[in-house]
Amino acid sequence: MTVETSLLQSLRDGDVDAFTWLVEQYHTSLVRLARIYVHNTVIAEELAQETWLAVLQGLDRFEGRSSLKTWIFSILTNKAKTRSQRENRSVSYTDLEESLHASHEPTVDPSRFNSPAAERLPNHWAVNPVSWEGIPEEILLSQETMNLVRQAINELPEHQRTVITLRDMNELSSQEICNILGISETNQRVLLHRARASVRQTLEEHLQPET
């Protein structure tokens, strides 16, 4: 029996620990995803709760054609879309458009590279990034570093934040994310790349050994 089938079985049996584990895994992500559509934390929280109820009520019908998490996220997305339409609020994609408009802007500060007109090694690193390989795990995984990663993600524009969270934290596939958010694979990758590059930048400033 896979972890997922045994989890499903526990849920169907009404095991509270299985439910608690699941909400701890995904509730915050659900609220965050809902906020993209409804722009209101209270309503987003409501939508996430409605989603959990729908999950519980739908357990017996769930056939496992998608993974459990994809199923949960798509219930939320459907509810959020309906809710935003009912309130006659077209989904604001301003932030998405902004993120994508910026897609031709470099994700690494151009001053890190030699000028395109340089005689020697144009567009090459002016100063090479320093490898992190020598950094001990206890520093990389320290509370301080992890908090910094969290903060960097929280400060990203909404769609970038959603994509990096779904992909790198909740480990959904890019196909699943495209379906959930209704965006193209290309746009998904652009958002993901920009998000990762920003977080890397923050980490680099923090981890750079003093010179």
Partner 1 sequence: MDEKMACKELVELVTEYLEGNLPDETRLRFEQHLSGCAGCTAYLEQMRQTIRLTGRLREESLTPQQQDELLKLFRDWKKA
Which of residues 92, 98, 146, 182 is near partner 1 by CB under 8 A? 146
Question: Does the protein bind partner 1 through residue 129 (CB under 8 A)?
Answer: yes
Q: In terms of CB distance, is 41 or 94 closer to partner 1?
A: 41
Question: Does the protein bind partner 1 through residue 145 (CB under 8 A)?
Answer: yes
* CB-CB neighbours of 104 under 10 Å: 7
User: By three-state DSSP, how is residue 196 classified?
Assistant: helix
Query: Cβ of residue 175: shortest distance to partner 1, in angstroms?
Result: 11
By CB under 8 A, which span of 1-9, 70-78, 86-94, 131-139 interacts with partner 1?
131-139
Which of residues 4, 87, 97, 204 is near partner 1 by CB under 8 A? 204
Place of tokens 């939508």: 47
Which bin fits 156, alpha (ψ -120 to 50), beta or left (φ > 0)? Answer: beta
Question: Does the protein bind partner 1 through residue 19 (CB under 8 A)?
Answer: yes
Q: In terms of CB distance, is 97 or 140 closer to partner 1?
A: 140
Instruction: Please give the single-letter amino acid code of residue 48.
Output: A
Query: Cβ of residue 131: shortest distance to partner 1, in angstroms?
Result: 4
Query: Cβ of residue 169: shortest distance to partner 1, in angstroms?
Result: 5
Contact criterion met (CB below 8 Å) for 74 and 62: no
Side-chain-side CA neighbours of residue 145 (13 Å):
16
Contact criterion met (CB below 8 Å) for 84 and 37: yes
Cα 182 from chain centroid (whole Å) = 14
End-to-end CA distance of the chain: 53
Residues that bind partner 1 (CB under 8 A): 14, 16, 19-20, 23-29, 45, 49, 52-53, 56-57, 106-108, 110, 113, 122-125, 128-133, 140-141, 145-146, 149-150, 153, 164, 168-169, 171, 174, 189, 192-193, 196-197, 199-200, 203-204
